[in-house]
A = this chain, B = another copy of it.
Amino acid sequence: MTRRGSRPLDVAELVERARQGQPRAVARLISLVEDAAPPGTGSGSDGARGQLREVAAALAAHTGRAQVIGLTGAPGVGKSTSAGVLVGALRKAGKRVGVLAVDPSSPFSGGALLGDRIRMQGHALDDGVFIRSMATRGHLGGIAWATPQALRVLDAAGCDVVLVETVGVGQSEVEVISLVDTTLVLLAPGTGDGVQAAKAGILEVADVFVVNKADRDGADQTVRDLEHMISLGRREQEAGSWSPPIVRTVASRGEGGHDVVDAIERHRSWMVSRGELDTRRARRAEAEIQAIALGQLRARLGDVRRGDALGDLTKRVVAGELDPYRAADHLVAELDTGERGAWTPGAV
């Protein structure tokens, strides 16, 4: 994959090729999204940021068609394998599928691990499937910023379904996963009981529960725990609300993929009937706008940092001479006055 140092992009041509579903063009656009992460998120380059604006403008009219599915769960439940099975079932149903594996792994040396790629390899040569691991590592906001934009690329490239797989169960990932059309939450017997799942904050965002490794001891107990928790939740809900179904799979043997696809379709029908799909899509667009705006503001803070106002303020806070609020006031005041000129409006 070419990144920095590659020849300048002809954006119009690249977007046109991506719309035709050419994998290299799609890959290059997603790389651009990653490279364009806003200053202060630990990565990103100015050139990429400028081009991304052009790309975003070109894509806008061609998005909003893909069905966006989230897949999450604690480590060890079999997310990558399940993603592979789900892709298989969607392909059999004639869908073009994009997979975004959001991997915030290593804050320092990160990136996608080989294991994911290998488990997905069955689909690697299928030109109806586009698989991409996104290593939006480092600072807060990286995932929230890059994921919706990579989604737009796959959407414009003609994917009928985009599957967003998040590794781990942290706060920012819950946020990302809560912005899809349908969220699948994966559990497996023995990798943490219901209390652990509740701790992870993913029960409330689940539209469909998938109990994987359903051939193992404890699977029935996991299903019963879930049913119990769902029934507790339902008492407070209004009539006609969605009650997340529980689907059993054995992803390692390829079992259950069609049941998951059925559950997704039922959820989609329910959403359409209630206007919920439009609501979720508006929420996703809103979150994206806010993340970009916050990235712009963060970029201004980054400019202040280069002038080392922050370094001086930090020393005074560590010494106990200044509290962090007054330090932050000084930092923000710098934005509003002297440093304004250093910030280029229009470049995220």
Instruction: Output the nearest chain B residue to A178 by Cβ-Cβ distance.
Output: B107
Q: Are B113 and A198 in contact (CB under 8 A)?
A: yes
Q: Are B171 and A328 in contact (CB under 8 A)?
A: no
Selecting from A6-14, A258-266, A291-299, the interface stretch reads A291-299
Contacts of A170 in B (CB 8 A): 104, 168-174
Cβ-neighbour of A171 out of B140, B196, B290, B298 (below 8 A): B140
| A250 located at the interface, meaning its Cβ lies under 8 Å from any Cβ of chain B in the complex | no
Interface residues of A in 266-323 (CB under 8 A from B): 278, 281-282, 285-286, 288-290, 292-298, 300-301, 310-311, 313-315, 317-318, 320-323
| A164 located at the interface, meaning its Cβ lies under 8 Å from any Cβ of chain B in the complex | no
What is the CA–CA distance of A314 and B64 in the complex, to the nearest angstrom?
A: 13
Q: Are A323 and B168 in contact (CB under 8 A)?
A: no
What is the CA–CA distance of A298 and B73 in the complex, to the nearest angstrom?
A: 30
Quick one: copies of this chain in the complex? 2
Q: Are A290 and B318 in contact (CB under 8 A)?
A: no
Known: A171-B142, A285-B318, A348-B328. A200 touches B105 (CB 8 A): yes
| A143 located at the interface, meaning its Cβ lies under 8 Å from any Cβ of chain B in the complex | yes
| A327 located at the interface, meaning its Cβ lies under 8 Å from any Cβ of chain B in the complex | yes
Contacts of A327 in B (CB 8 A): 289, 292
| A326 located at the interface, meaning its Cβ lies under 8 Å from any Cβ of chain B in the complex | yes
A-B contact pairs, 25 of them (CB 8 A): A53-B325, A57-B326, A64-B318, A75-B196, A104-B170, A107-B175, A107-B201, A107-B205, A113-B198, A140-B141, A168-B168, A168-B169, A170-B174, A278-B318, A285-B317, A285-B318, A286-B314, A289-B310, A289-B313, A289-B317, A289-B324, A294-B301, A297-B297, A297-B300, A329-B346
